[in-house]
Amino acid sequence: MSSPTTILAPTTAERVRSACAHAETAVLALPGIDPVPTTLHHLRRCGDAVIAVPGSSLAAALAATANETSAVLELTDHAPLPLREPVRALVWLRGWVRQVPEQAQRALAIEIAKDYPHPGLLDVGHGVTLLRIVVNSAVLADTAGAESVDHADLRAATADPFCDMESAWLQHMSEDHADVVAQLARHLPTRLRGGLVHPLAIDRYGLTLRVESNDGDHDVRLPFPTPADDIQSLSRAVRVLAGCPFLNGLRRI
């Protein structure tokens, strides 16, 4: 009997979910008008996206008058550290945009706040309107290339369980555990060991380092031996990967 295959990385759909959760900026593109920055965005569990735009914008007017308008929402995932190239990934959600009925906007805002308590939700109905994007597909692009995801896979996926604490972990590792980062850098290819090494991303399957070299930036993924299930196992996985399993665990600040 063959042994089970070890999963080394999140699926593309899970990466899209996590990138959307991390993204602080998003821009809506509709036919015939200039791109419109959104004041908030939220990829719902059902796979649709809800965004907020100024009620006086052309995007709001177009969504209100057209039955179905094709749309692309571009989201930018920035690294939580001051890197030479701060963008970690771009996500494009493609589908159809519709205006949320006025009488349903406050109720939807309250529902979204349960999972995503963004302060911009308070402005809904006060100069800000909600639009719903019925997502057909998504594309994620990073330094490894671009991959597409269909709606069914996106709907079935969830963000990484450590997504909410990732930024704090990376900042803590960079600021207070330079020794651990140096130990992790031993796994880098020899040609990259002379560059500046930063922790770029972490998830339940592994950790990614960004190397800033004279010949450009390079991202190297270091998979864990087994996926982490909780904070303790994630901390232990990082320490084992660094070759120092008996150090005090990294703690979220």
**Secondary structure (H, E, C), 7-64:** CCCCCHHHHHHHHHHHCCEEEEECCCCCCEECCEEEECCCCCEEEEEECCCHHHHHHH
- Print the domain residue range for 235: 162-242
- Residue 167 and residue 149 share a domain: no
8 A C-beta contact, residue 252 and residue 165: yes
| pLDDT (0 to 100) of residue 249 | 47
* pLDDT tens, position by position, 85-96: 999 999 999 999
Using CA atoms, how far residue 40 sits from 60, 116, 162, 170, 210, in Å, is: 14, 10, 22, 24, 28
| pLDDT (0 to 100) of residue 65 | 84
* pLDDT tens, position by position, 4-15: 455 678 999 999
| pLDDT (0 to 100) of residue 243 | 85
| pLDDT (0 to 100) of residue 20 | 97
| pLDDT (0 to 100) of residue 193 | 85
Using CA atoms, how far apart are residues 28 and 34, in angstroms rounded to an integer? 9
Domain count along the chain = 2
- Residue 145 and residue 89 share a domain: yes
Using CA atoms, how far apart are residues 12 and 9, in angstroms rounded to an integer? 9
Close Cβ partners of 234 (under 8 Å, ≥ 6 residues apart)? 162, 202, 204, 228
- Residue 97 and residue 65 share a domain: yes
pTM of the model: 0.89
What is the identity of the amino acid at 95? Answer: G
CATH code where residue 121 lies? 2.30.110.10
Residue 122 lies in a domain: yes
| pLDDT (0 to 100) of residue 246 | 54
- Residue 91 and residue 17 share a domain: yes
- Give every residue of the chain whose pLDDT is below 50, as ranges: 1-4, 248-253
CATH code where residue 175 lies? 3.20.180.10
Last residue of a domain, one of 97, 131, 156: 156
